[in-house]
Amino acid sequence: MNSTYPLFGILAAFAQTELGRIIATVVSISIAAILLRVSQKRLRLGSSTMLDVEHRRGNLVLARNLIIGLTLVAVGSIWATKIAGAALSLAAVAGAVLIVSKEFLANVLGSAMLAISRPYRVGDFIEMGDATGRVLDTDLMVTTIAETLEGHQLTGRTAVLPNSLLLVRPVKNLTATGAYVINLLNIAADPDDDLLAMEKALLRAARDVCAPWLGDADRHLKQLESRDLVDLPSAEPRVLLQLHSAREYTLALRYCCRPNDRVKVEQAILRAFLKYRGALPASASRDKRMLAEAA
């Protein structure tokens, strides 16, 4: 037993050295990474006896934050003496730096937030403030986007957004679901129209256009549900009837396609819908009434 005390003394002395602190930090981070992976896999496994998606996602977030918090406490304890000594000497310098480089530090903090939370990546379509576009590049200071119009149509212009906006502005990732995204197409309808027949024509048009990729899109969305523990809509086209007033109806079509194909798919659906709608009796009578009113 006595021979073990010198060993503990040697290990304790080694832990106070620079090399010992580095090794202890690497070990702590490695253990945290392993625990994160294990917890994610266990909570993402689906079975008939497991909690629903919302509860599993809550447990995953709780476990992740707890592991990260304990890791930060462990690393802080390892370097506590060094941090305490450096804090006093850096206090005066930090005050001066904050005064003369406020914007620079805000951009650096925004970059840190981008690296940790990953609200978007290169290639995503985002909306930040009044700017909308596709992310071309990110660096320590700014995010560069290719400006787009409705339907992700490029304008040929670029916009440079300071990363400090991430701290004060909400960011919308318009392509958060990756290879396939969910879009809405609104069709105005007259109360005198046969809304059920129009709904069938719109669904038929959407299914005809989206049929080539519906299977792949549905599998992709289900994989995202399993990976991120979120509830996503089906890739199958759906129509919602929206009543704005007694004289104003809207048929809202929900459909799925690739981000870059949104305008092309939307136009194809509209043309197919107009073709199928042209055969509806209600549509013909409405067209005659509109011509009579115009005359």
pLDDT one-digit tens code per residue, 164-180: 888 888 888 888 788 88
The predicted-structure confidence for 139-151, as pLDDT tens digits, reads as follows: 888 899 988 877 6
Contacts 24+ apart (CB under 8 A), 232-239: 232/177, 232/182, 233/182, 235/180, 235/210, 237/203, 237/206, 237/207, 237/210, 239/199, 239/202, 239/203
What is the identity of the amino acid at 11? L
Contact predicate 253/269, CB 8 Å: yes
**Cβ distance 152 to 260 under 8 Å?**
yes
In angstroms, how far apart are the furthest CA atoms of the chain?
110
Pair of tokens at residue 95 = 């005050």
The confidence score (pLDDT) of residue 280 equals: 57
Backbone angles phi and psi of 276, in degrees to 5: -70, -35
Coil, strand or helix at 153 = strand
List the structure tokens of 237.
């086209």
Secondary structure (DSSP) of 118-138: ----TT-EEEETTEEEEEEEE
What is the residue type of 61? V
Tokens 């253990």 belong to 31
Which of 149-158, 168-177, 206-215 is predicted most confidently? 206-215
Summarised one tens digit per residue, pLDDT across range 197-206 is: 888 999 999 9
Global model pTM greater than 0.75:
no
* Contact criterion met (CB below 8 Å) for 28 and 4: no
Which long-range contacts (C-beta less than 8 Å, at least 24 apart) are formed by 241-245?
241/195, 241/199, 242/186
Percent of the chain at pLDDT exceeding 70: 75
Inform me whether the pLDDT recorded for 162 exceeds 60: yes
Question: Residue 237's pLDDT is what?
Answer: 92
- Cα-flanking dihedrals φ and ψ of residue 79, to 5°? -105, 20
CA–CA gap between residue 77 and residue 56 (Å, rounded)? 31
Higher-pLDDT residue of 14 and 51 is 14
Among the listed ranges 4-8, 220-224, 287-291, which one has the minimum average pLDDT value?
A: 287-291
CA distance 41 to 46: 10
What's the length of the chain?
295
Q: What is the pLDDT of residues 20-75, one digit of tens each?
A: 778 888 888 888 888 888 877 776 655 444 445 556 666 777 778 788 888 888 88
pLDDT over 60 (residue 1): no
**How far is the CA of 41 from the CAs of 57, 143, 273, in angstroms?**
12, 33, 44
